[in-house]
Chain A
Amino acid sequence: SQTIHQWPATLVQPVGSPLSLECTVEGTSNPNLYWYRQAAGRGLQLLFYSVGIGQISSEVPQNLSASRPQDRQFILSSKKLLLSDSGFYLCAWTQGPLYEQYFGPGTRLTVT
């Protein structure tokens, strides 16, 4: 069966510091991968998605970037964090012919 991992689970970082969040999927190949952010009291905002290695689509221009160096690995990065980057970051995967997405446990990021 497929599983999705995210780490770290929680992170507290100062403003201006770099960020790297990692997501990996097991038990499948060539998945579509997604990064979402969930700010307090708000819904899910799609940040990036990827349909293959090295293929990244950005949904919202911002301080973040994403990379997919391996088939089942998706990384969210920032060179300099802002206070507004705080939130709950969720990674998800799907694979044709599925339409639903399956989510990881999330990373709680607090920028201080």
Chain B
Amino acid sequence: AQSVTQLGSHVSVSEGALVLLRCNYSSSVPPYLFWYVQYPNQGLQLLLKYTTGATLVKGINGFEAEFKKSETSFHLTKPSAHMSDAAEYFCAVSDLEEGGGNKLTFGTGTQLKVEL
């Protein structure tokens, strides 16, 4: 079964500083990986995804993530944090089921705080 570990339930950065949110996964098959963002009292919004091909994927709002198979990692980065980036971020791995269930296994989330 797949699993996802997000190191650091809370991360605080200064505005303009690098954002690095860590995600490690466990999967018995080649994984499909995702990052989602959640603002307070809202649903989750897809930031970016890795399925196949280029291991560095770019997403919305200036975020990107790199799939590193040897490290089983899919860390999320952004060169310069903005106040509007303050939110909770979830990493997820796809678990394809026979019969097309296509479930996602989520990490426990990282709350990003951006300070002036």
Chain A, range 33-84, C-beta contacts under 8 Å to B:
34, 42-44, 46, 49, 51, 57
Q: Would A43 and B46 be within 8 Å (CB), given that A32-B101, A51-B100, A99-B32 are in contact? A: no
Q: How far is the CB of A43 from chain B (nearest CB, A)?
A: 4
Complex: how many Å from CA A33 to CA B59?
A: 24
Q: How far is the CB of B7 from chain A (nearest CB, A)?
A: 14
| A43 and B103 contact, CB distance less than 8 A | no
Q: Give the secondary structure class of A's interface.
A: strand
Q: Assess whether A103 is interfacial by the CB under 8 Å rule.
A: yes
What is the interface size of chain B, counting residues whose CB is below 8 A from a CB of the partner?
24
Complex: how many Å from CA A104 to CA B43?
A: 6
B10-40 toward A: CB 8 Å interface, digit per residue (1/0)?
Answer: 0000000000000000000000101010000
Q: Assess whether A90 is interfacial by the CB under 8 Å rule.
A: yes
| B102 and A43 contact, CB distance less than 8 A | no
Q: Assess whether B82 is interfacial by the CB under 8 Å rule.
A: no
| B42 and A105 contact, CB distance less than 8 A | yes
Cβ of A44: which chain B residues have Cβ within 8 Å of it? 44, 90, 106
Q: How far is the CB of A66 from chain B (nearest CB, A)?
A: 14
Q: Assess whether A96 is interfacial by the CB under 8 Å rule.
A: yes
Q: Assess whether B84 is interfacial by the CB under 8 Å rule.
A: no
Out of B41, B44, B102, which one reaches A103, CB within 8 Å? B44
Cβ of A108: which chain B residues have Cβ within 8 Å of it? 41
| B100 and A32 contact, CB distance less than 8 A | yes
Out of A43, A90, A103, A105, which one reaches B107, CB within 8 Å? A43
